[in-house]
Amino acid sequence: MKLTPYTINCRGKLLNLAEPVVMGIINITDDSFYAESRSRHLHHIIEKAGQHLAAGAAILDLGAQSSRPGAVEIGAQEEQERLLPVIHALINHYPDAIISVDTYYASVAEKAVHAGAAIINDISAGEMDPQMLETVGRLQAPYIAMHMKGTPATMQKDPQYENVVREVLDYFIQKLAQCRAAGIRDVIIDPGFGFGKTLAHNYTLLRHLHLFQVLDCPLLAGVSRKSMIYRLLGTTPEEALNGTTVIHTLALQQGVQLLRVHDVKPAVETVKIWQYIRNNE
């Protein structure tokens, strides 16, 4: 499948998405579902970021608040206190790195961008803070808008859809109009695997990801080591790398341009193999 040659403006640096790119996850928390991704120590975070970049990550995605099902909200002030020193340290060590910040607070988004972050990754697509879209539009930052049914505390309590593909797609048609009205130029669409979806909902979305290209925006898949993999296989997040690679391959075949991952090297290798096959058809 030929990808649309999108570019996004990251603090004046154009990131070319004509070929898929990998986002490396860095969790600044003790509460994320995958233990190996957690760290609160700055030297460990700097080391992890260097490993991600050396392995081929195009973006570092920082999260200071867990969004796993049932996670406890920490609040904007604590999230900001966790994030800002890390952003400053990473910019100092890796001045060319593109940093994305995973937050649904407009105030945190604004301070993160002023500190050096380039992209805002919002699991609520502006639903949890009515100031978010206006803030991102004013900052002129690329915006990852994710679909979530409910909140992290409630999203997996029997989520229901009549047609999950149609409903998520309709949601993004409306959300994209809101983003454009707020002045956001670069919008990335994330269907929100595992966020208010059952196992069946997740795999139905995966099979139909190509339909989301009608939105004319880059698509992101965040499936790394999630329960849609390890529960199906009867394993754990720690054992879900092989399944993650399979899902990444299927997502690339459906036209996804960004993979948000815990394990950068395997994801980059997956992209390279998929590119070779596509370019030599």
Residues annotated as catalytic (active site), given as ranges: 226, 260
DSSP, res 190: E
Position of tokens 């208010």?
196
Collect all residues with Cβ–Cβ distance below 8 Å to 177 and sequence separation of at least 6.
none
CA dihedral 55, 61, 65, 66 (to 10 degrees): -60
Tokens in use for 173?
A: 């048609």
Tokens in use for 183?
A: 């002045």
Task: Give the relative orientation of helices 199-207 and 241-253 as an angle to the nearest 10 degrees.
Answer: 40
CA dihedral 31, 236, 21, 150 (to 10 degrees): -60
